[in-house]
Amino acid sequence: MLGYQVLMKKAWKYKKPVIGMMGAPGSGKSVVAHVLAELGCCVIDADQLAKDAINEQRVQEELKAWWGDDVIGDDGLVDRAFVAKRVFGDKANLGRLEGVVHPVVGQLREAAREEAFADEGVKAVVEDCPLLLEVGLDVECDVLIYVDASWESRLKRVQENRGWDEAELRKREKNQGSLDTKRRRADYVISNDAGLADTEAEVRRFASLIFPV
């Protein structure tokens, strides 16, 4: 983990510092991203971009060809639970889905970055992407942070807030890269096992190494 001196010496590759976030499912990346947004960052939320991408007409058509019309709900949007059931236990299906969704996410991300770089009010860009290392987005970031939370904390939170059971958390995690590798790759680790106030204080400490807070 880099200390203050090293972080301050890093040269930014882009017009603004780009902070890449890593962490297990339910570790608290979105919570950390929310604090960084309050401090003046533009957060690019890959899960949200993927939600937009999966509902583009040509992606919907592809999904209907694979799984039938039931993949679209009564609201005209992709039924996410239907898709989750078919992909997280089946590598081939997940690869197929990623193959159509990720290129669209990439385009949406590029557009969001350009907008953020051009906006004078934005202090830094945050890539909140659960598959940051897996898709090679780390090389497009200046600083990598890892949001750390124990299995027990994560399970309790996703059970309470997302209605996932243990098997669901385990399945999603299994489809992601090694947490040890991600922790080791990080320049900075933010612990999110305690309450939100402690996490917020840690995020502020980290942000003050990157831009004036």
Residues that bind ligand COD (CB under 6 A): 25, 46-47, 50, 54, 80, 83-84, 87, 94, 97-98, 101, 105, 129-131, 172, 175-176
Cα–Cα nearest to 33, from 128, 124, 151, 98: 128
CA torsion sign for 163, 168, 172, 173 is: positive
Which residues pair with residue 41 across a beta bridge? 124
Write the DSSP symbol of residue 18.
Answer: E
Does 25 help bind ligand ATP (rule: CB under 6 A)?
yes
Residue closer to ligand COD (CB basis): 185 or 204: 185
CB 112 within 8 A of CB 42: yes
Least distance to ligand ATP, CB of residue 6, Å: 25
Beta-sheet strand order (sheet of 188-191): 41-45, 124-128, 18-23, 143-148, 188-191
Report the residue number whose CB is nearest to ligand COD: 25
Does 47 help bind ligand ATP (rule: CB under 6 A)?
yes
Does 175 help bind ligand ATP (rule: CB under 6 A)?
no
Q: Tell me how far apart the alpha carbons of residues 38 and 18 are, in angstroms, rounded to a whole number.
A: 16
Least distance to ligand COD, CB of residue 168, Å: 8
Amino acid at 26: G
Least distance to ligand ATP, CB of residue 37, Å: 12
SS3 56: coil
| 178 labelled ligand-binding | no
150 to 169: interface string for ligand ATP, x by CB under 6 A: -------x---x--------
| 123 labelled ligand-binding | no
| 106 labelled ligand-binding | no
CA distances from 10 to 2, 5, 13, 34, 133 (A): 10, 9, 9, 24, 20
Residue closer to ligand COD (CB basis): 13 or 162: 162
Pick from 7, 31, 94, 122 the residue near ligand ATP by CB under 6 A.
31
User: What count of Cα atoms within 13 Å lies in the side-chain half-sphere of residue 23?
Assistant: 27
Contacting residues toward ligand ATP, per CB under 6 A: 23, 25-31, 47, 130, 157, 161, 192, 195-196, 199
Residues annotated in a binding site for ATP? 26-31
